[in-house]
């Protein structure tokens, strides 16, 4: 099959658009969608200058999504002194898994000359995820602890590096799964957070104006295209799944979405279009004034309680 845009051989077919794309036109198409998202989300303000640049911190895990995002953002702004990048890798203390993905992060940032910072649960919380999984003092899924710790460190270090934006590599499939999960769980409060706090403390409201804005420039690109992009560009990517991954419900939603997309191409796009409209309406219902947000008495993070969720979990884990 030939490419829809030229006479080279197609490497992929996007059923939702009907396009067959060759390698070169796949690259162009993915990069165009990321750049369009940066424009449409107004990520780069008019007052950013070479003297007073924007600092963008990118959560870089070494998986395909964050590697592709870092690669495209670096390429896009390589000659543009208005944007400075910091890649931030969180080491959870998962033997083998994170050490290998850290190597991918180091290779990418060294190749592209991007500032790279690594912070660890061990240094920050005296916690290793391998031990947390074994002890499990709160009787929860591993991802539930890990998500709280990761969000806390992303927010803390984005602030420490004076970030103007915090970028993450969520792709279209991730976003559509999360949207569907929130709706199926009836979690309207979480729907309301779609635009402002997708990485904020998930059980607490955080005032928008005190938060570093989040951005997900890959959110229009389906997972399969991100994977193909990484592979054909020969980017250093760690493909393995986390050995503690335990999000059973997300797995079911994933299977469901793949099937829906196969029978009804464009389902992911239409879910997100509707979800964004719903999220706007829900956000009006859960306005910031309702939340009584103060500071955690231990770490100073924004919280609606005396002590934030992260501090409670760190204590529980370290008490074992
Ligand atoms: Zn082509
Ligand atoms: Zn705290």
- Would you write out the chain's pLDDT as a tens digit for each of its 320 residues? 999 999 999 999 999 999 999 999 999 999 999 999 999 888 898 889 999 999 999 999 999 999 999 999 999 999 999 999 999 999 999 988 888 899 999 999 999 999 999 999 999 999 999 999 999 999 988 888 998 999 999 999 999 999 999 999 999 999 999 999 999 999 988 888 887 644 333 334 344 556 788 899 999 999 999 999 999 999 999 988 888 887 788 899 999 999 999 999 999 999 999 999 998 888 878 765 556 778 899 998 888 889 999 999 999 999 98
In the chain, alpha helices (H): 23-40, 64-77, 97-112, 121-125, 129-135, 142-160, 172-184, 188-192, 223-232, 248-263, 267-285, 309-319
Structure tokens at 131: 């031990």
d(CA 52, CA 74): 18
Question: Residues whose CB is under 5 A from ligand 1 (ion)?
Answer: 3, 5-6, 8, 22, 25
What pLDDT sits at residue 288?
Answer: 58
What pLDDT sits at residue 196?
Answer: 64
Binding residues for ATP, by number, are 59-61, 65, 90, 169, 174
Judged by DSSP in three states, 57 sits in: strand
What pLDDT sits at residue 203?
Answer: 34
pTM score above 0.75: yes
How many beta carbons lie within 10 A of that of residue 197, not counting itself?
20
Which one of the ligands is nearest to 6 CA? 1
What pLDDT sits at residue 209?
Answer: 53
Query: In the block, which residue shows the tokens 């999360």?
Result: 178
d(CA 217, CA 37): 6
d(CA 97, CA 231): 20
Which one of the ligands is nearest to 7 CA? 1
Question: Residues whose CB is under 5 A from ligand 2 (ion)?
Answer: 296, 298-299, 301, 308, 311
What pLDDT sits at residue 199?
Answer: 39
> Separation of 171 CA from ligand 1 center, angstroms?
23
Backbone angles phi, psi at 58, to 5 degrees: -110, 125
**Which of these CATH numbers, 3.40.50.620, 3.30.300.30, 3.40.190.10, 2.60.40.1930, describes 49-318?**
3.40.50.620
Query: In the block, which residue shows the tokens 């939702």?
Result: 16
- DSSP annotation string for 287-298: -GGG---EE-TT
Please give the span between the terminal C-alpha atoms of the chain, in angstroms, as a whole number.
Answer: 59
Q: What is the CA radius of gyration of the chain?
A: 20
């Amino acid at each position: 099959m030939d490419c829809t845009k030229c006479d080279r051989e197609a490497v992929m077919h996007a059923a939702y658009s009907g396009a067959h794309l060759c390698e070169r036109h796949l690259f162009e198409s993915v990069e165009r969608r990321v750049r369009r998202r940066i424009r449409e989300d107004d990520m780069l303000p008019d007052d950013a200058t070479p003297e007073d640049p924007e600092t963008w911190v990118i959560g870089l895990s070494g998986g395909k999504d964050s590697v592709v995002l870092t690669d495209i953002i670096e390429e896009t702004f390589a000659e543009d002194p208005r944007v400075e990048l910091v890649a931030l890798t969180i080491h959870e203390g998962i033997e083998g898994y994170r050490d290998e993905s850290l190597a991918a992060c180091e290779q990418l940032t060294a190749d592209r000359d991007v500032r790279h910072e690594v912070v660890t649960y061990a240094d920050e919380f005296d916690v290793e995820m391998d031990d947390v999984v074994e002890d499990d003092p709160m009787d929860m899924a591993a991802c539930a602890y890990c998500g709280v710790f990761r969000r806390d460190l992303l927010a803390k270090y984005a602030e420490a590096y004076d970030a103007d934006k915090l970028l993450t590599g969520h792709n279209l499939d991730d976003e559509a799964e999360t949207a569907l999960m929130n709706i199926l769980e009836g979690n309207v409060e979480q729907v309301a957070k779609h635009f402002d706090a997708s990485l904020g403390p998930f059980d607490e409201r955080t005032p928008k104006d005190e938060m570093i804005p989040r951005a997900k420039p890959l959110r229009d690109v389906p997972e399969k295209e991100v994977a193909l992009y990484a592979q054909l560009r020969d980017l250093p990517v760690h493909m393995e799944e986390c050995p503690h991954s335990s999000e059973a419900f997300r797995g079911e939603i994933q299977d469901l979405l793949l099937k829906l997309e196969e029978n009804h191409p464009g389902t992911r796009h239409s879910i997100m279009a509707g979800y964004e409209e719903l999220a706007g309406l829900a956000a009006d219902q859960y306005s910031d004034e309702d939340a009584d947000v103060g500071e955690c008495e231990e770490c100073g993070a924004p919280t609606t309680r005396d002590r934030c969720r992260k501090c409670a979990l760190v204590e529980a884990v370290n008490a074992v």
